[in-house]
Amino acid sequence: MTERQQLFGVALDPLTMDETVERCLEAVRDGRQLEIGVVNAAKLVNMRRDERLAKAVSGCDLVLADGQAVVWAGRVLRAPLPERVAGIDLFLRLLAEAEAAGISVYFLGAKQEVMEQMLLRVADRFPGLKVAGSRNGYFDDSEQQEIADAIARSGAQMLFLGMTSPKKEIFTAAYGARTGARVVHGVGGSFDILAGVTKRAPASWQRWGLEWLYRVKQEPRRLGRRYLTTNVSFLLMTARELIRLTPSTAPANRSH
């Protein structure tokens, strides 16, 4: 078992994409549940402000660096992570593995029209995939147990949640086990990308950690202020932590 790295008080699993996929397939084979949490700069900032979110993420079986900025911060703060494991890339890898191995999946999240479009594109891209069921992500908290029971009845072995934070983390923390799914993965806005509603940043933008800026370009009024605020907060968090970890070079006082 790889030892976790502590970053901003959060325990992260230093796994590669291939290692993460293998862990997921092992969980399905062994019949045990693996709940996956992913963090980027914005989520780490919000975890400082939202205790429920922090508790839900920290309770996951695997916590992975979804954002490139998190990987860079890990290097600076002596908590090295081998690579970014982006939630959408893991999602696509798991769909491909599920198709090859006959593993059934369930999709929960997004608007109904987005879900329908995504299902069409998934069927085209992964024609052999066993989809046990799907449901849009617009429901009251009072419906969570009923939805979890429906997922359990479907027999799905992998559950993908295309919902925003902290809703998806809180749902999985409270009802993930009840769904009976062996792998539970919150994929955020990935359903919108697969449906073609939003575009993903080009690979070059991703390498430079600028996916957030590409998203702002698509929705400046909704996302501009949010990303500016969280990015500045993340830089300040990293600077404060670096200062805390850097030993003082001031000479010790001598008593006379």
* Confidence at residue 123, expressed as pLDDT on a 0 to 100 scale: 97
Pick the most confident of 99-103, 161-165, 211-215.
Answer: 99-103
* Confidence at residue 40, expressed as pLDDT on a 0 to 100 scale: 92
Single out the residue of 92, 90, 99, 115 nearest to residue 34, CA to CA: 90
- b/e string for 208-223 if b means 16 or more Cβ within 10 A? ebbbbeebbeeeeeee
Instruction: Return mean pLDDT, the chain.
Output: 91
* Confidence at residue 256, expressed as pLDDT on a 0 to 100 scale: 47
The whole-angstrom separation of Cα 243 and Cα 232 is: 17
* Confidence at residue 218, expressed as pLDDT on a 0 to 100 scale: 80
* Confidence at residue 80, expressed as pLDDT on a 0 to 100 scale: 96
**Structure tokens belonging to residue 156:** 């799905």
Note the helical H segments in 77-143: 87-101, 112-125
pLDDT digits (tens, 9 = 90+) for 174-233: 999 999 999 999 998 899 999 999 888 788 888 887 787 777 778 787 766 777 788 889
Kindly state the percentage of the chain with pLDDT values over 90. Answer: 73
More confident residue, 231 or 79: 79
The whole-angstrom separation of Cα 188 and Cα 242 is: 30
Strands 34-39 and 62-65: parallel
Does the reported pTM lie above 0.85?
A: yes
Average pLDDT over residues 101-121: 97
Kindly state the percentage of the chain with pLDDT values over 70. Answer: 95
- Looking at the predicted structure, is the pLDDT value of residue 142 above 70? yes
Single out the residue of 77, 49, 51, 61 nearest to residue 13, CA to CA: 61
Residues 6+ apart with CB under 8 A from 11: 4, 5, 58, 63
User: Comparing 26-40, 67-81, 89-103, 199-213, which segment has the lowest mean pLDDT?
Assistant: 199-213
**Structure tokens belonging to residue 65:** 């660096």
User: Comparing 15-19, 118-122, 152-156, 162-166, which segment has the lowest mean pLDDT?
Assistant: 162-166
* Confidence at residue 249, expressed as pLDDT on a 0 to 100 scale: 54
Average pLDDT over residues 58-85: 95
